[in-house]
Chain A
Amino acid sequence: MTSTTEQFADLSATTLLRFATAGSVDDGKSTLVGRLLHDSKSVLTDQLEAVERVSASRGQDTPDLALLTDGLRAEREQGITIDVAYRYFATARRRFILADTPGHVQYTRNMVTGASTADLAVVLVDARNGVIEQTRRHAAVAALLRVPHVVLAVNKMDLVGYEETVFASIAEEFTAYATGLGVPEITAIPISALAGDNVVEPSANMDWYGGPTVLEHLETVPVSHDLTACPARFPVQYVIRPQTAEHPDYRGYAGQIASGVLRVGEAVTVLPSGRTSVIEGIDALGESVDIAWAPQSVTLRLKDDIDISRGDLIAPSSSSPATTQDVVATVCHVADQPLAVGARVLIKHTTRTVKAIVKEIPSRLTLDDLSQHPNPGQLVANDIGRVVVRTAEPLALDSYADSRRTGSFLLIDPADGTTLAAGMVGESFASTAATTVQADEEGWDF
């Protein structure tokens, strides 16, 4: 496995993987990220020199790779990570966007932020401590956000004598727990971020491990294209009407295909109005095409001149979503001000923002043991809870289980614009939950 910057000028072999990291304080997450960047030769000379300079001025013998990622004054002063940072690196096989999420206080909202766009999450565990409460929270958030792949990185193997039994029991416990949450794929890797074992280079200290290194797994895990297997959804962002001599009659509906595939000639329904038409043309950023798919940004032209504006959703007439004014969802509360029953909020769903009222908060989830606390009355920062919201206008919603894009929404404070909560439409988040809930009324089903 080679991974030098010299090779990534070659465009043809690269896809993009977005992934997020999660770990508790002192699990060595910054060191893992630093090691990943450093050993994949993604750290350039001037960045490394800066790290070496600061490390030396602090009297450290070796460069503190965590300094590569802690960028803000306060982070360096306190040795903690404050907020989600995004990192970019590439190998010959793939390009990566890493959402580096802090495991400190406010872990839930930060990890939700990072995981919302991730195809993969790396959950870090200290081999000496094994699966702890925080690990279960990270797994639950990954499952809640429906991150398709989860990597359990059992770190600090050097401090447990590189013992296979230590790794095996942690991997077994975590896999059982995460599978129960509905995480579809779990890969456990024994590592030492500090020593560099199994991060980029295979470890000489763990002959018993035959699996991939962290980087090798990141390079080869299939990037999820299941978006295109779902029914097509096209939230209208903007109506393009040049009204110029050259294009007097052009009327195009601009947007990014949220899921599925759209074809010229397809019968479509516009929601919430329910009007129907046929796709006459698809303009894909300058070229006319007869097929387009998620997540392409395109412009659709329809056969009929019907009233369509920003916020409308175009979907195939054969599989268009229902519209509703009663939204049942799981939310992660991300603001400092609480969200209470009766609150008047705005809901932003795809390109549509409408007024809404929080009618009920049926339960709040206790992440430690996944138990439900009934009718909490309000949600505060980092709480995850069920909500029922009544909207002023109908929304065309999908279940988050079917589409991260058309099944997600924000709740916004209309007074000051604060983002209050991240919402996921539907009764439950686990892929197996539909059957679980039916079979077991006592089961958690947030």
Chain B
Amino acid sequence: MTATVAHVHEGTDAPYALSHLDALESEAVHIFREVAGEFEKPVILFSGGKDSIVMLHLALKAFAPAPVPFTLLHVDTGHNFPEVLDYRDRAVAKHGLRLHVASVQEYIDAGKLRERPDGVRNPLQTVPLTEAIQQLKFDAVFGGGRRDEEKARAKERVFSLRDEFSQWDPRRQRPELWQLYNGRHAPGEHVRVFPLSNWTELDVWQYIAREKIELPEIYFAHEREVFKRNGMWLTAGEWGGAKGDETTETRLIRYRTVGDMSCTGAVDSDATTLDAVITEIAASRLTERGATRADDKLSEAAMEDRKREGYF
């Protein structure tokens, strides 16, 4: 038998306490198991970013020694970091999972979506995502969204009912009481499920460190050719690159979030280890999205508006 002392919270009188990470882990696992018990066809949205990697890790723990009873879905903007796609494919192979890919590029090629003038593809993800959910008949869709990310997300339920158009209506959310999640839905509707709702960015990083979870290398400081647009360091790629008087330079940077290359900014950093990343984030005076996401700066309510349309 393994001793359980590691779980006992030091410095409290209570013989049975959980550290806050253990409490968050236990809650997230409970949410995964509720979905497995109540839904027909759940899917985990998996981007290869840190939040979805943590979700997959939790799902693996929740059902061990059995395999994860969910498939994965990636909405590929066509402008993803190659390192992240590589990580995605290795993770799928390693755990014997099934991956669906909804491709923004295919929608553009088929004339079903039009490229925006600014080349930013994040808002274009909503249509392939919602159509994949409808076509593949997923009834529960796990997302790695956290309430600490953004003020509209602070209002999101753990189980968030979406209509047949995947729309979110903040005024018509079900009250969510105790840990009694109500996943009932009509045919055509589905439920978005957020097991990391109560986690903060720092919790995610501390958990990654504790569990020794491998991440794509772009999360750690490395030298990269970047150029500045709208106050953010972007990496050139197939999606485009420096224009006009924008100049490319080599900088020591890392990524705090992973998304579409056209709108995910890098931060200056020399953090090459998990410990250094945690120290850096704990001291940062910018939020994760404020530091690295151009699309959230489009308007005061950019996230709310996209969520209403079916985005995460």
Query: What is the minimal beta-carbon distance from A236 to any residue of chain B, in angstroms?
Result: 9
**Are A237's CB and B300's CB within 8 A?**
no
The docked-state distance in angstroms from the alpha carbon of A52 to that of B178 is 36
B110 on interface, CB distance cutoff 8 Å: no
Interface size class of A (residues with CB under 8 A): 35 or more
Please choose the segment from B30-38, B43-51, B121-129, B215-223 that sits at the chain A interface, where 4 or more of its residues have CB less than 8 A away: B30-38
The 8 A CB mask of A331-358 against B (1 = contact, 0 = none) is: 0001000000000001010110000000
**Are A351's CB and B34's CB within 8 A?**
yes
B10 on interface, CB distance cutoff 8 Å: yes
Closest to B200 in A: A88
Chief secondary structure at chain A's binding surface: mixed
The 8 A CB mask of B1-33 against A (1 = contact, 0 = none) is: 110100101111011111111111111011001
Query: What is the minimal beta-carbon distance from B105 to any residue of chain A, in angstroms?
Result: 32
Residues of B within 8 A of A50 (CB): 300
**Are A242's CB and B11's CB within 8 A?**
no
**Are A237's CB and B2's CB within 8 A?**
no
Query: What is the minimal beta-carbon distance from B12 to any residue of chain A, in angstroms?
Result: 7
Residues of B within 8 A of A113 (CB): 175-177
Residues of A within 8 A of B279 (CB): 9
**Are B2's CB and A288's CB within 8 A?**
yes
B291 on interface, CB distance cutoff 8 Å: yes
**Are B202's CB and A9's CB within 8 A?**
yes
B179 on interface, CB distance cutoff 8 Å: yes
Interface size class of B (residues with CB under 8 A): 35 or more
Given A83-B155, A86-B197, residue A297 in contact with residue B147 (CB < 8 A): no
Query: What is the minimal beta-carbon distance from A100 to any residue of chain B, in angstroms?
Result: 8
Closest to B9 in A: A15
The A399-436 residues at the B interface (CB cut-off 8 A) are: 404-405, 408-410, 412, 416-419, 422
Residues of B within 8 A of A350 (CB): 180
**Are A117's CB and B285's CB within 8 A?**
no
Closest to B158 in A: A86
Residues of A within 8 A of B30 (CB): 237, 255-256, 297
Question: A223, A228, A254, A288 — which one has the most chain B CB atoms within 10 A of its CB?
Answer: A254
**Are A289's CB and B18's CB within 8 A?**
no
**Are A419's CB and B278's CB within 8 A?**
no
Query: What is the minimal beta-carbon distance from B209 to any residue of chain A, in angstroms?
Result: 9
The A43-77 residues at the B interface (CB cut-off 8 A) are: 44-47, 50, 54, 68-74, 76
**Are B19's CB and A11's CB within 8 A?**
yes
Give the residue of B24, B178, B282 whose beta carbon is less than 8 angstroms from that of A116: B178
Query: What is the minimal beta-carbon distance from A278 to any residue of chain B, in angstroms?
Result: 16
Given A72-B301, A410-B180, residue A225 in contact with residue B291 (CB < 8 A): no
A82 on interface, CB distance cutoff 8 Å: yes
Query: What is the minimal beta-carbon distance from B178 to any residue of chain A, in angstroms?
Result: 5
Residues of B within 8 A of A70 (CB): 151
Residues of A within 8 A of B161 (CB): 417
Residues of A within 8 A of B90 (CB): none
Closest to A44 in B: B287
Residues of A within 8 A of B291 (CB): 46
**Are B282's CB and A291's CB within 8 A?**
no
The 8 A CB mask of A154-192 against B (1 = contact, 0 = none) is: 000000000000000000000000000000000000000
What are the nearest 8 A-B pairs in CB distance?
A71-B151, A417-B184, A46-B290, A9-B282, A242-B66, A228-B16, A297-B29, A16-B20
12 A-B pairs within 8 Å (CB atoms) are namely A5-B284, A9-B279, A44-B284, A72-B170, A74-B171, A225-B17, A237-B36, A244-B65, A256-B26, A296-B7, A297-B33, A419-B174
14 further interface pairs, Cβ-Cβ under 8 Å (given A84-B175, A297-B62, A405-B179): A13-B11, A46-B286, A71-B152, A76-B300, A85-B155, A86-B198, A223-B14, A240-B64, A254-B62, A256-B179, A310-B37, A412-B182, A422-B177, A422-B178
